[in-house]
Amino acid sequence: MKKIISVVGARPNYMKVAPIHRAFQNYSDKVQHLICHTGQHYDANMSDIFFRELELPQPDFYLGVGSGTHAEQTAKIMIEFEKVLMKERPDLVIVVGDVNSTIACSLVAVKLGINVAHVEAGLRSFDRTMPEEINRLLTDQIADYLFVTEKSGIENLKNEGIADEKIFFVGNTMIDSLVYYLPKIEKSTILHELNLKSKEYIVVTLHRPSNVDDPENLVKIFDEFKKIAEKYKIVFPIHPRTRRTLQSSKIDYEHSNILLIEPVGYISFINLVKNSLIVLTDSGGIQEETTYLKIPCLTLRKNTERPITAEVGTNKLIGTEYHRIAEECFDTINNPPKNSQIPPLWDGRAAERITAKVVELLN
């Protein structure tokens, strides 16, 4: 029996690991699949709700590291995860995405001689001011198996000198969760609860430090939101990082058509996206989900590590010239993207491919 530990830490990790956990159940005679939650995210609406909705079991290991500076958080995760690995000695550690938990756990594992698989490898924004870009670059350099979601990832890894035999193009486990839960998502009552009507509102999420840490940016962003709110309702589930800036500054964000709510669970959130006119975001994962759902997405960033979403999908990068937000938004609502496509292998079966390959590699 092979022992595998998958790591989750922050909100975007749960929907990537859930389908992998489910797919490993088909190999229960060969693989014991365990889950370690670092506790990078810990609020109930940033953690527990996703375990429930995505039918993940309680984590086998909970490191409880919480928030801190990058060094504090990364170091705490490393210290606690090393204890788990020294005791458990798994055959493989699986990390996903690009958060601090991803690099911290990869580093600990490889130094103990334990193989690492990185799911969502090879994505690059080419912007090293993003903490995630550093996490991605370093994780891919030390991981043994690299599972890639889109073709840019293969090219990036090859350009960085990663051997072909380590790279596997498997598709997108985040889309696996979306496909699997669509029937449940359709039944969500969130529109009714928020008094919203399908295709009459806009969804916003923002949490990148470059957009939300400086209150001056948020002032400019909310000025634009108020212009939009003269015509359309905006629903904005606020990430804790963004809430922190809003609460500590005197930004005037009140408007009767801007609905500021706490972060919502996955099922409600995707239902909100699916019924929206357009999404405005700086999230990584949401660029992919809107592409799959063919909902127009404006990304408030200068770059994306997920270029396929802009090449074939519904995503448009609008940069950080905040004064253009309302105009871009109205333009896109009036001329929504046509003929967008779903990227190759975003078919709901990435986790099946990953687990089959992992079982083959471990045997």
* Binding window for ligand UDP (CB under 6 A); candidates: 7-15, 20-28, 60-68, 320-328: 7-15
One residue of 2, 46, 210, 317 binding ligand UD1 per CB under 6 A: 46
Would you give the binding string for ligand UD1 spanning residues 3-42, x where CB under 6 A is met? -------xxx---------------------------xxx
Nearer to ligand UD1, 39 or 343 (CB): 39
337, 296 contact by CB (below 8 A): yes
* Binding window for ligand UDP (CB under 6 A); candidates: 179-187, 209-217, 221-229, 263-271: 263-271
Regarding 266 and contact with ligand UDP (CB under 6 A), the answer is: yes
Measured from the Cβ of residue 26, the count of other Cβ atoms closer than 10 Å reads 13
Q: How far apart are CA 104 and CA 99, in angstroms?
A: 9
Q: What are phi and psi of 127, to 5 degrees?
A: -125, 100
Torsion of CA 345, 15, 67, 213, to 10 degrees: 60
Positions 77 through 116 that interact with ligand UD1 (CB under 6 A): 98-100
Q: Which does 171 bind (CB under 5 to 8 A by kind): ligand UD1, ligand UDP, none?
A: none
Per-residue exposure over 49-64, b if at least 16 CB sit within 10 Å of its own CB, e if not: bbbebbebeebebbbe
Regarding 301 and contact with ligand UD1 (CB under 6 A), the answer is: no
| Run of H or E including 169 | strand 167-169
- Given strand 315-317, what is the order of strands in its sheet? 258-261, 233-237, 201-205, 278-281, 297-299, 315-317
Would you give the binding string for ligand UD1 spanning residues 171-210, x where CB under 6 A is met? ------------------------------------x---
Q: How far apart are CA 284 and CA 146, in angstroms?
A: 19
122, 29 contact by CB (below 8 A): no
Regarding 19 and contact with ligand UDP (CB under 6 A), the answer is: no
Axis crossing angle, helix 240-248 with helix 215-229, rounded to the nearest 10? 100
Kindly name the residue from 207, 239, 255, 323 that is annotated as catalytic: 207
Regarding 118 and contact with ligand UDP (CB under 6 A), the answer is: no
Q: Is 118 a catalytic residue?
A: no
Regarding 289 and contact with ligand UDP (CB under 6 A), the answer is: yes
Q: Which residues contact 269 (CB under 8 A, 6 or more apart)?
A: 237
Which residues make up the interface to ligand UD1 (CB under 6 A)?
10-12, 40-43, 46, 67, 98-100, 131-132, 207, 239-241, 244
Which residues make up the interface to ligand UDP (CB under 6 A)?
11-12, 15, 205, 207, 237, 263-266, 269-270, 283-286, 289
